[in-house]
């Protein structure tokens, strides 16, 4: 028996999910360090690079089906209102308008965890869906939106997180404004504070930020006989299949979701879009394909954001630097519908602290709903925690790195389980050396106009991946090899590492492999591409499939040579017999097989029991602050990580730098701003919502601290997509504090905040 059905629990994006699925039991020798391998760990160009660079890559928004209609949503201009009357007569009279959905003529498709509907007579944020027009062209659809007349009764609204948390009269839903209050206790917080030599209380804040992937959210939907085909710009083809089938009340087997290329997601494309279901409803009705593409404004209003945070800390420390107690009260807004704004995992798990008390709340406001955004919770939480740790070190006149090492933990403080691997100490050392940490001086040492500062921050995340995750490998009669897996490439290099892993096992060039992913009809199940779990889940399944294929090739060669199987050797795509007199290539073996296609399924193994699986890392920042203008310039970031085995050094470094740059935007410029008088978002385009450009990027140096995780899988890979962004803002904030001797306690650190802080401190 080489397979087994198991139940496993995996943490994805801050939520625990239970999976029942098949795992591989095939024993495979652990690969050694990357320098003993032929292709894994090398710098390999993407196999999909040419397609993307030449403009021939077809993204969802590039797909056009014959006779397709174009869909557009009419959205609420008000943050809170009740729809009194809808008049579609003028819009319906416009030539080319084919169908208009409103709550009056559409079934009540439940949405947002059953707190609302696809089309709801109550609108709860600026941008909430009111009507859906399908027309012969995008221009006609847009024109029709202007001809729909809606009578609204405006309702009171609340857009400020703190105000909403205590507001008695203005409720986003009739049941209140608070979701998911949670409490976590460890040890005894009172004794912890009593044991402390010092206590520090402080508050840190972060802003709501917007994903802004370059490709807008979009779907092209068609009913092909009784099969619903959805081309979707998604991070999760299988999840979209399940959610769409459930929403429409049809069998999953009748839904096919396809995503070949996508223009970024960062968490915002894990969920089913209202646009997808509205398009499907119209498509089923009119028997025509329907295409819906968000514009930039819709994207920034309606398809997710990172919650803001207000983090109130109290910490107890001993003179020698040990944490005795940590208390955290936090809240953040999730917009108008239930989501999680929790951010306490770093506080719970980053350091050894015996006594902990955490209280968290997610607050409803009349704004677009939150969605997972690259390391949800951790990016906010690490900013607060690591700012606080710097304050502790300063209180004790201690080097911030030394303080963190004093509180280093070798076991997961929540479960008390050991880690499968933790190379954070090594990562600290490498990143510190790369930035020149020996030059670190206490905060505020410089009095010049332009002040240089050094800062650091640590990082923890999950990212171990897990089952079920499968890959099929197909050898056709001509020796062509295709690998299928229901995973996704977000720009992270999934296509390429799949070919690399198979190439390593079968010892033939990566050009020999076709990789097919992101299609629920062709590919076996693989998890969502979120939680940094794609590579750690999928790479072991690919290796498993390739190893099984190799076995099969050797079985066949044994028959061809009429020898015992254990005398056959496999080398560089050939099977050789015992005395080396007979040799047959992979393609020749394929030609001998009377099965036309050899299809072999590989699967991810079960994660080891009794261990915590985490990624770790540290970033150090060097900044320059102009005290006359308040402008912060990041000069350099060094980063080092324990992320298990490196699959492709070229795409890995690119992804880490990208995370750091996104973190830099979070630290210094990104912020969704809502006008509190009107409840309208002022930052709906890329002119008002600033993201980093090529002018903003610092020098970035990266060194990986880990060789491979020895326990989790046959590839020993952990994820890196989210770890890359987690510590950046905290490291920059600590460096700014180091430069100025004044701490900016809210993100983004804009010039006005710097100038005010300097002025107040004088």
Interface residues toward another protein, by CB under 8 A: 45-46, 48-59, 61-62, 64, 90, 93-96, 136-137, 139-140, 142-143, 146-147, 212-216, 261-264, 266, 293, 295-296, 490-492, 650-651, 654-655, 657-662, 685-687, 691-695, 697, 700
Q: To the nearest whole angstrom, how small is the minimum distance from the Cβ of residue 266 to another protein?
A: 7
Q: To the nearest whole angstrom, how small is the minimum distance from the Cβ of residue 557 to another protein?
A: 37
Q: To the nearest whole angstrom, how small is the minimum distance from the Cβ of residue 292 to another protein?
A: 14
What's the sign of the alpha-carbon dihedral 608, 610, 611, 613? positive
Q: To the nearest whole angstrom, how small is the minimum distance from the Cβ of residue 95 to another protein?
A: 5
In the complex with another protein, which residue's Cβ is closer, 83 or 262? Answer: 262
Q: To the nearest whole angstrom, how small is the minimum distance from the Cβ of residue 503 to another protein?
A: 18
Instruction: Find the radius of gyration of the CA atoms of the chain.
Output: 27
In the complex with another protein, which residue's Cβ is closer, 62 or 162? Answer: 62
In the complex with another protein, which residue's Cβ is closer, 402 or 699? Answer: 699
Tell me how many degrees the CA angle 360-365-367 measures, rounded to the nearest 5: 125
Q: Kindly give the residue spans of alpha helices, DSSP state H, lying in 419-488.
A: 424-435
Q: To the nearest whole angstrom, how small is the minimum distance from the Cβ of residue 35 to another protein?
A: 21
In the complex with another protein, which residue's Cβ is closer, 301 or 336? Answer: 301
* Segment (H or E) for 152: strand 149-154
Beta bridge partners of 342: none
Q: To the nearest whole angstrom, how small is the minimum distance from the Cβ of residue 536 to another protein?
A: 19
Q: To the nearest whole angstrom, how small is the minimum distance from the Cβ of residue 278 to another protein?
A: 21
Q: To the nearest whole angstrom, how small is the minimum distance from the Cβ of residue 371 to another protein?
A: 15
The separation between CA 131 and the C-alpha centre of its own chain, rounded to angstroms, equals 30
In the complex with another protein, which residue's Cβ is closer, 572 or 693? Answer: 693
In the complex with another protein, which residue's Cβ is closer, 43 or 104? Answer: 43
Tell me how many degrees the CA angle 487-493-495 measures, rounded to the nearest 5: 55
- Please, are residues 607 and 441 in contact by the beta-carbon 8 Å criterion? no
Q: To the nearest whole angstrom, how small is the minimum distance from the Cβ of residue 655 to another protein?
A: 7
* Segment (H or E) for 602: strand 597-603
How many CB atoms within 10 Å of residue 758?
A: 17
Beta bridge partners of 110: 117
Tell me how far apart the alpha carbons of residues 486 and 265 are, in angstroms, rounded to a whole number: 17
What's the sign of the alpha-carbon dihedral 257, 259, 265, 266? positive
- DSSP annotation of 4 reads E
- Please, are residues 403 and 321 in contact by the beta-carbon 8 Å criterion? yes
- DSSP annotation of 368 reads P
Structure tokens given for 664: 């830099």
Who's near 638: CB < 8 A, 6+ residues apart? Answer: 430, 431, 432, 434, 435, 619, 620, 700, 701, 702, 703
In the complex with another protein, which residue's Cβ is closer, 338 or 721? Answer: 721
Q: To the nearest whole angstrom, how small is the minimum distance from the Cβ of residue 489 to another protein?
A: 8
Q: To the nearest whole angstrom, how small is the minimum distance from the Cβ of residue 695 to another protein?
A: 5
In the complex with another protein, which residue's Cβ is closer, 51 or 180? Answer: 51
In the complex with another protein, which residue's Cβ is closer, 245 or 691? Answer: 691
DSSP result, 332-343 = EEEETS------
In the complex with another protein, which residue's Cβ is closer, 76 or 529? Answer: 529
Who's near 695: CB < 8 A, 6+ residues apart? Answer: none
Q: To the nearest whole angstrom, how small is the minimum distance from the Cβ of residue 178 to another protein?
A: 32
In the complex with another protein, which residue's Cβ is closer, 298 or 339? Answer: 298
Q: To the nearest whole angstrom, how small is the minimum distance from the Cβ of residue 42 to another protein?
A: 13
In the complex with another protein, which residue's Cβ is closer, 304 or 340? Answer: 304
Structure tokens given for 753: 């905040």
Tell me how far apart the alpha carbons of residues 535 and 651 are, in angstroms, rounded to a whole number: 12
Tell me how far apart the alpha carbons of residues 292 and 454 are, in angstroms, rounded to a whole number: 47
Structure tokens given for 199: 């206590």
In the complex with another protein, which residue's Cβ is closer, 300 or 738? Answer: 300
What backbone phi and psi angles, to 5 degrees, belong to 541? -65, -40
Q: Select from 80, 99, 79, 103 the least CA-distant residue to 91.
A: 99
Q: To the nearest whole angstrom, how small is the minimum distance from the Cβ of residue 137 to another protein?
A: 8
Q: Select from 204, 184, 459, 385 the least CA-distant residue to 311.
A: 204
Q: To the nearest whole angstrom, how small is the minimum distance from the Cβ of residue 448 to another protein?
A: 24
In the complex with another protein, which residue's Cβ is closer, 95 or 447? Answer: 95
What backbone phi and psi angles, to 5 degrees, belong to 754? -65, -45
In the complex with another protein, which residue's Cβ is closer, 297 or 565? Answer: 297
Q: To the nearest whole angstrom, how small is the minimum distance from the Cβ of residue 760 to another protein?
A: 34
- Helix/strand/coil percent split, the chain, to 5: 30, 30, 40
What's the sign of the alpha-carbon dihedral 258, 262, 267, 268? negative
At 290, is the secondary structure helix, strand, or coil? strand
What's the sign of the alpha-carbon dihedral 88, 92, 94, 100? positive
For tokens 């968490």, what's the residue?
A: 267
Q: To the nearest whole angstrom, how small is the minimum distance from the Cβ of residue 524 to another protein?
A: 24
* Segment (H or E) for 90: helix 89-93
Tell me how far apart the alpha carbons of residues 362 and 341 are, in angstroms, rounded to a whole number: 5
Counted residue by residue, the chain has a size of: 762
In the complex with another protein, which residue's Cβ is closer, 265 or 307? Answer: 265
At 15, is the secondary structure helix, strand, or coil? strand
- Please, are residues 745 and 204 in contact by the beta-carbon 8 Å criterion? yes
- Please, are residues 308 and 330 in contact by the beta-carbon 8 Å criterion? no
For tokens 């970033």, what's the residue?
A: 619
In the complex with another protein, which residue's Cβ is closer, 300 or 714? Answer: 300
Q: Select from 82, 78, 83, 84 the least CA-distant residue to 159.
A: 78
* Segment (H or E) for 475: strand 470-476
In the complex with another protein, which residue's Cβ is closer, 172 or 667? Answer: 667
């Amino acid at each position: 028996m080489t397979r087994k059905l198991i139940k496993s629990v995996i943490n994805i994006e801050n939520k625990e999910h239970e999976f029942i699925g098949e795992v591989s039991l095939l024993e495979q020798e652990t690969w050694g360090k990357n320098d003993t391998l032929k292709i894994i760990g090398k710098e390999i160009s993407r196999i999909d690079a040419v397609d993307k660079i030449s403009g021939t890559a077809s993204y969802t928004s590039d797909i056009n089906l014959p006779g397709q209609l174009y869909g557009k949503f009419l959205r609420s201009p008000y943050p809170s209102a009740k729809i009194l009357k809808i008049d579609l007569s003028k819009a319906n009279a416009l030539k080319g308008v084919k169908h208009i959905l409103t709550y009056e003529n559409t079934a009540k498709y439940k949405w947002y965890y059953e707190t609302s509907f696809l089309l709801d007579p109550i609108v709860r944020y600026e941008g909430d869906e009111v009507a859906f027009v399908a027309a012969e062209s995008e221009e006609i659809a847009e024109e029709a939106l202007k001809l729909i007349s809606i009578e609204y009764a405006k309702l009171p609204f609340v857009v400020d997180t703190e105000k909403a948390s205590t507001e008695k009269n203005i409720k986003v839903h009739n049941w209140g404004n608070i979701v998911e209050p949670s409490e976590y206790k460890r040890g005894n917080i009172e004794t912890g504070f009593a044991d402390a030599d010092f206590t520090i209380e402080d508050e840190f804040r972060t802003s709501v930020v917007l994903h802004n992937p370059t490709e807008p959210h979009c779907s092209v939907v068609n009913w092909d006989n009784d099969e619903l085909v959805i081309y979707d710009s998604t991070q999760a083809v299988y999840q979209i299949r399940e959610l769409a089938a459930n929403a429409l009340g049809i069998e999953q087997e009748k839904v096919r979701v396809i995503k070949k290329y996508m223009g970024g997601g960062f968490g915002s494309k894990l969920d089913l879009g209202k646009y997808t279901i509205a398009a499907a409803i119209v498509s089923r009705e009119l028997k025509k394909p329907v295409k819906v593409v968000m514009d930039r404004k819709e994207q920034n209003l309606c398809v997710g954001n990172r919650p803001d945070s207000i983090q109130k800390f109290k910490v107890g420390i001993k003179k020698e630097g040990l944490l005795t107690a940590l208390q955290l009260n936090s809240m953040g807004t999730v917009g108008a519908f239930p989501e999680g704004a929790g951010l306490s995992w770093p506080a719970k798990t980053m350091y050894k602290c015996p006594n902990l008390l955490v209280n968290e709340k997610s607050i409803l406001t009349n704004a677009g709903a939150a969605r997972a955004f690259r390391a949800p919770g951790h990016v906010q939480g690490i900013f607060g925690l690591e700012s606080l740790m710097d304050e502790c070190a300063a209180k004790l006149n201690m080097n911030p790195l030394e303080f963190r090492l004093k509180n280093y933990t070798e076991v997961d403080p929540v479960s008390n389980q050991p880690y499968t691997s933790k190379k954070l100490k090594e990562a600290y050392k490498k990143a510190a050396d790369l930035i020149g940490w020996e030059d670190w001086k206490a905060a505020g040492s410089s009095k010049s106009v332009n002040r240089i500062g050094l800062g650091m921050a640590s990082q923890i995340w999950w990212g171990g991946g897990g089952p079920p995750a499968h890959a099929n490998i197909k050898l056709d009669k001509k020796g062509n090899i295709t690998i299928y897996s229901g995973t996704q490439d977000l720009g992270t290099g999934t296509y390429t590492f799949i070919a690399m892993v198979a190439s390593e096992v079968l010892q033939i060039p990566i050009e020999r492999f076709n990789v097919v992913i992101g299609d629920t009809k062709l590919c076996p199940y693989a998890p969502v591409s979120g939680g940094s779990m794609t590579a750690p889940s999928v790479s072991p399944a690919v290796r498993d499939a390739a190893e099984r294929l190799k076995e099969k090739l050797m079985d066949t060669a044994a028959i061809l040579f009429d020898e015992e199987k254990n005398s056959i050797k496999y080398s560089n795509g050939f099977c050789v017999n015992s005395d080396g007199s007979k040799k047959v290539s992979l393609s020749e073996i394929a030609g001998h097989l009377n099965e036309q296609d050899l299809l072999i399924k590989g699967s991810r193994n079960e994660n080891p029991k009794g261990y915590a699986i985490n990624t770790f890392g540290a970033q150090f920042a060097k900044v320059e602050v102009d005290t006359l203008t308040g402008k912060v310039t990041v000069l350099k970031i060094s980063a080092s990580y324990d992320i298990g085995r490196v699959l492709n050094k070229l795409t890995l470094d690119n992804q880490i730098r990208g995370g750091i740059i996104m973190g830099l935007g979070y630290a210094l410029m990104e912020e969704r701003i809502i006008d509190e008088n009107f409840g309208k978002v002022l930052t709906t385009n890329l002119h008002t919502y600033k993201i980093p450009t090529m002018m903003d990027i610092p020098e970035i140096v990266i060194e990986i601290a880990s060789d491979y995780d020895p326990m989790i899988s046959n590839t020993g890979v952990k994820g890196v997509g989210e770890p890359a962004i987690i510590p950046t803002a905290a490291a920059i904030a600590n460096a700014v504090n180091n430069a100025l001797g004044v701490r900016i306690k809210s993100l983004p650190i804009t010039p006005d905040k710097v100038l005010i802080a300097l002025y107040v401190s004088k």
